[in-house]
Structure 1
Amino acid sequence: MSGFWVTGVIPLYVTALFPLVLAPLMGLLPSAVISKAYLSSSTFLFFGGMILATAAENTNLHRRIAVTSMHYMGHDIRL
């Protein structure tokens, strides 16, 4: 599966779901163990952060924050 990640032959979202499907079919791990890893709180925290970052980028919020901070702090590079 790491070859799929590196080469990008298959889209990354499909490659990420391979262990969820293939490991129980191959008898490597039960599906309950794998789904628990996919549904952990850290995974949801990371996913939520990615959603917020994408939303901020699509609405140019990151630029507004940068411009506002430059307005209040000034543009001089000295500390």
Structure 2
Amino acid sequence: MDEFATEEQIMQAGSMIDRMVKHMIEQKIPPIAVASALLGGALNVLSASLPDEAILRILHNAVESVQSGELREIDETRQ
């Protein structure tokens, strides 16, 4: 799968994920369980379509976002 996603497709997928997350939280599934399942699913999707080096770059960027506080800044703008 070397297909690139359009902005519309990304927004559609994000909207679907948001609805699923909301439903799981309403069902009283602990947020850590929801997040762990989402992360595991995302890694499975990535591993099916990208080489390990690309996945590691994505994960490294995520670590850098946490370390720099950028992830918290994004979360704060949503509240």
Task: State the TM bucket, normalised to the shorter chain.
Answer: 0.3 to 0.5
Q: TM-score, normalised by structure 1?
A: 0.35
Q: TM-score, normalised by structure 2?
A: 0.35
Determine which structure has greater relative contact order: mean sequence separation of CA pairs < 8 Å that are 6+ residues apart, divided by chain length: 2
Identify, as 1 or 2, the structure richer in helix.
2
Report which of the two structures shows the higher radius of gyration computed on alpha carbons: 1
